[in-house]
Amino acid sequence: MLHSKTSWHSPAADPELVKDLARSLSISPLLASLLVNRGLNTSHEALLFMDGGEEEQHDPFLLKGMSEAVPRIRKALEEEEHILIYGDYDADGVSSTALMIYLLRYLGASFDIYIPHRSNEGYGLHNHALDWAVQQGVSLVITVDTGISAYHQIAYANGLGIDVIVTDHHEPPELLPEAYALINPKLPGCPYPFKGLAGVGVAYKLAQALLGEETPAEWSEIAAIGTVADLMPLLGENRQIVRIGLSSMRNSRFPGIRALLGVSGVTMNTVNSVNIAFGMAPRINASGRLDHAGRAVALLTTEHAEEAELLAGELDLLNKERQLVVERIATEATAKLEKVLEVGELPDIIVLADQGWNVGVVGIVASKLLERYYRPVIILDIHPETGMCKGSARSIPGLDIYAALSSCADLLDHFGGHPAAAGMSLHRDSIGAFATALNEYAASVLTPEHFVAVTVADAEVSLSELSLQAALDLERLAPFGMANPLPKFIVRGVTVKETRTMGQGGKHLKLVLQQGDSTIESVAFGKGALSALLPGGTKVDVLAELSVNEWNGSRKPQLMLQDLAVQDAQLFDLRGAVDAVEQAGQIRELLLPYSGNGPYRAAAVFQSGRMSPQSELKGMSLWVYDKEMGISALNNEQTVAEHEPVSLLCLLDIPETPEQLDALLTVFPDADNIALLHSIRDGRERLQIPTRDHFKALYKMLASIAAVAIAENEVLLRLSRQSSMSVRMLNMMLDVFEELDFIERSQGKILFITQPAAKSLTASRHFIRLGQVAEMEQYFMEGSRLEVQEWMLSRRLGAS
* Residue-range domain boundaries for the chain: 7-41+456-565, 60-317, 349-445, 570-680, 684-780
Cβ 524 vs Cβ 508: under 8 Å: yes
Q: Which fold has domain 684-780?
A: Arc Repressor Mutant, subunit A (1.10.10)
As beta bridge partners, residue 491 has 542
d(CA 520, CA 511): 8
Instruction: Give the amino acid at 776.
Output: M
d(CA 174, CA 166): 16
Residue 415: predicted pLDDT: 87
Residue 612: predicted pLDDT: 65
Q: Model-level pTM?
A: 0.82
d(CA 192, CA 66): 11
Q: Which residues lie below 8 Å from residue 253, measured CB to CB, with a gap of 6+?
A: 218
Residue 286: predicted pLDDT: 94
Residue 178: predicted pLDDT: 97
Residue 643: predicted pLDDT: 45
Label residue 318 exposed, middle or buried (CB < 10 Å: 0-12, 13-18, 19+): buried
Q: Which CATH architecture has domain 349-445?
A: Roll (3.10)
Cβ 334 vs Cβ 350: under 8 Å: no
d(CA 426, CA 562): 37
* DSSP 3-state of 209: helix
Cβ 476 vs Cβ 243: under 8 Å: no
* DSSP 3-state of 493: strand
Low-confidence ranges of the chain (pLDDT < 70): 55, 611-615, 636-644, 683, 798-800
As beta bridge partners, residue 87 has none
Residue 642: predicted pLDDT: 44
Residue 589: predicted pLDDT: 87
Q: Which fold has domain 60-317?
A: inorganic pyrophosphatase (n-terminal core) (3.90.1640)
Residue 142: predicted pLDDT: 98
Cβ 589 vs Cβ 372: under 8 Å: no
Q: Which residues lie below 8 Å from residue 793, measured CB to CB, with a gap of 6+?
A: none
d(CA 194, CA 238): 9
Residue 798: predicted pLDDT: 65
Cβ 564 vs Cβ 540: under 8 Å: yes
Alpha carbon distance, N-terminus to C-terminus of the chain: 20
Where do runs of H (alpha helix) occur along 65-189? 66-78, 91-107, 127-135, 151-159
Q: Which CATH architecture has domain 570-680?
A: 3-Layer(aba) Sandwich (3.40)
Range list of β-strands (E), 596-677: 602-606, 620-626, 630-633, 648-651, 673-676
Range list of β-strands (E), 279-433: 350-355, 377-382, 388-394, 414-417, 421-427
**Residue in 650, 663, 661 with CA at minimum distance from that of residue 776:** 661
Q: Which fold has domain 7-41+456-565?
A: OB fold (Dihydrolipoamide Acetyltransferase, E2P) (2.40.50)
Pseudo-torsion of CA 628, 633, 637, 639, nearest 10°?
A: -100
